[in-house]
């Protein structure tokens, strides 16, 4: 998401876990597709990756497991690591925290991450100004939320 914004590409998305099948090879079908589509098209609302309740329930279920077996401990550690990359947004929805500290330190180059963050924020501010000039109300609201997310993570 951050890399896309640095290049002036915007999108929103959703991640969900649920029942999915294939009636024809390569053609997925199932209720989780509807759930993911709803999250992306109605809930995400601005450039962010919304994480559905199925994912959160799954991670919580893993963390509730008990036992000392290596597989249980490894699975719990993986679920806890996944949670480090998520945060609740201002509207209470869980999102991939693509500006968060966990992602900033991936690859060990936090300086490069901060440069990318600054470049992406510059794009967001520029687009917000353009939408304000053209009085495009829906996009103004969406980009104000995006700007607020960036500011909440230290962008200036």
**Count of domains forming the chain:** 1
Q: How confident is the model at residue 26 (pLDDT cuts 50, 70, 90)?
A: confident
pLDDT digit string (tens) for 85-138?
Answer: 999 999 999 999 999 999 999 888 899 999 999 999 999 999 999 999 999 999
Cα 25 to Cα 28, 29, 33, 37, 122: the distances in Å are: 8, 11, 16, 21, 43
pTM above threshold 0.85: yes
Give the domain extent around 104: 2-152
* H helix or E strand, kind and range, residue 36: helix 31-38
Phi, psi of 102 (to 5 degrees): -60, -45
């Amino acid at each position: 998401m951050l890399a896309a914004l640095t290049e002036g590409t915007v999108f929103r998305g959703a991640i969900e876990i649920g029942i999915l099948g294939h009636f024809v090879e390569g053609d997925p079908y199932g209720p989780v597709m509807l759930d993911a589509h709803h999250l992306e098209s109605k809930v995400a609302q601005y450039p962010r990756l919304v994480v559905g309740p199925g994912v959160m329930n799954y991670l919580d279920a893993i963390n509730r497991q008990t036992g000392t077996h290596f597989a249980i401990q490894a699975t719990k550690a993986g679920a806890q690591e996944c949670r480090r990359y998520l945060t609740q947004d201002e509207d209470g929805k869980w999102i991939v925290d693509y500006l968060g500290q966990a992602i900033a330190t991936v690859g060990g180059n936090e300086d490069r991450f901060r440069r990318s963050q600054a470049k992406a924020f510059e794009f967001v501010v520029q687009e917000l100004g353009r939408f304000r000039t053209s009085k495009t109300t829906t996009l103004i609201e969406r980009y104000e939320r995006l700007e607020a997310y960036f500011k909440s993570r230290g962008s200036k």
